[in-house]
Amino acid sequence: MIEVEHLTKYYGPKMALQDVSFRAERGDILGLLGPNGAGKSTAMRILTCYFPPTSGTARVAGYDVVEDSLEVRRRIGYLPENVPLYTDMTVRAYLDFVARVKQVQPRADSIDWAMDAARIDHVADVIIGKLSKGYRQRVGLAQAILGDPEVLILDEPTVGLDPNQIIETRQLIKALGGERTIILSTHILPEVSMVCNKVVIINRGTVAAVDTVEALSRRLSGSERVAVAVRGPRQEVAARLEHVPGVLAVTPIETHDGVARFELDTEPSSRVREELAAAIVRAGWGLQELRPQGLSLEEIFLQLTTSEQGVPAA
């Protein structure tokens, strides 16, 4: 549904994105996670065809954001970070404008549906300028989902809301998933695990990690990744490795020429690697490779806001 390949964006001499690649399939809720200034908004603006990349490609629903910009825009709903709305219009009048521009049919019913989904039907005739931030956010969400787009792109959809509103918004986003593909950006770690199934970590314009949420949680909870290659029978080797103290998970990668490769999730400790080596050699197998795959997520998360006080899991 969404394919980003080697995306690079420079604002003059300043690098905003460098060689960013990731994908999202239909039904994914993908989180762009990173500290402020990491490049999340830039990536989203390229995906929404606000501006083109300096190099690299981005495709939404099969259409290139530069070559077929209009086709992309017909299939997306976008909520920018600062939720820019026309404050002189009533909610209904504004959504009517958006519906006309997006050529949504049937217009009145679609507007009613969007207002209902975003829970703003009771403020339909209120002037947007008079609404609180929480309600404006919902109006922003309503205009994004108007027309039932295949892809939703939400830039920091919960920032600035109070804890109750944050929970509601996250629930709404989860409910909107299903057949739709959603990309949302955030700098709040727990939000990703609550709402998303995939995550892309961006820091200072480059991708630090791409993963599913479970794997990421495992790595975050203090596990390390170790690549192991052993000359020996795959099943037995895997079983033996699983029993080494400190090993959390063993994932076979491939077997080639009698050499079995695995990816292990382990507790962070160099002892584990020693134990692994000892276990392999003791069993009489040839140890070809034992290598920690260090993506130091800890460093990144020192910069990220990791804890949220007072917001229970959705």
Partner 1 sequence: MTRLGQGLAAIGAVARKELYSYAVSPFAYVVAAVFLLINGLIFFLILSNGFPEANLHPLLPTTAFLLLLVIPVLTMRLLAEERATGTIELLMTFPVTDAQVVLGKFLATLVVYTIMLVPTLGYVVILKVYGNSEWGPFISAYLGLLLLGGAFIAIGMFSSSLTRNQIVAGVVGIGILLLLWVLGAASGILGSRLAGFVGYLSLSDHFTGFTSGVIDLKDVVFFLSVIAGALFITTRVLESNRWRA
Binding site for partner 1 (CB under 8 A): 11, 45, 48-52, 70, 73-74, 76, 78, 80, 82, 84-89, 93, 97-98, 100-103, 143
Q: Which is nearer to partner 1, 95 or 304 (CB)?
A: 95
Smallest separation, CB 79 to partner 1 (Å): 9
DSSP code per residue over 203-264: ETTEEEEEEEHHHHHHHHTT-EEEEEEEES-HHHHHHHHHTSTTEEEEEEEEEETTEEEEEE
Q: Which is nearer to partner 1, 4 or 297 (CB)?
A: 4
Contact 131, 119 (CB under 8 A): no
Q: How far apart are CA 294 and CA 225, in angstroms?
A: 7
Q: Which is nearer to partner 1, 92 or 273 (CB)?
A: 92
- The pair phi, psi for residue 220, each rounded to 5°, is -70, -35
Smallest separation, CB 211 to partner 1 (Å): 28
Q: Which is nearer to partner 1, 74 or 261 (CB)?
A: 74
Smallest separation, CB 97 to partner 1 (Å): 4
Residues 6+ apart with CB under 8 A from 101: none
Smallest separation, CB 66 to partner 1 (Å): 10
Which burial class, exposed, middle or buried, applies to 67 when counting CB atoms under 10 A from its CB (0-12, 13-18, 19+)? exposed
Smallest separation, CB 78 to partner 1 (Å): 5
Q: What is the widest separation between alpha-carbon atoms in the chain?
A: 77
Q: How far apart are CA 64 and CA 206, in angstroms?
A: 21
Q: Which is nearer to partner 1, 133 or 291 (CB)?
A: 133
Q: How far apart are CA 52 and CA 10, in angstroms?
A: 10
Q: Which is nearer to partner 1, 111 or 272 (CB)?
A: 111
Smallest separation, CB 28 to partner 1 (Å): 21
Q: Is the dihedral of CA 201, 204, 207, 208 positive or negative?
A: negative
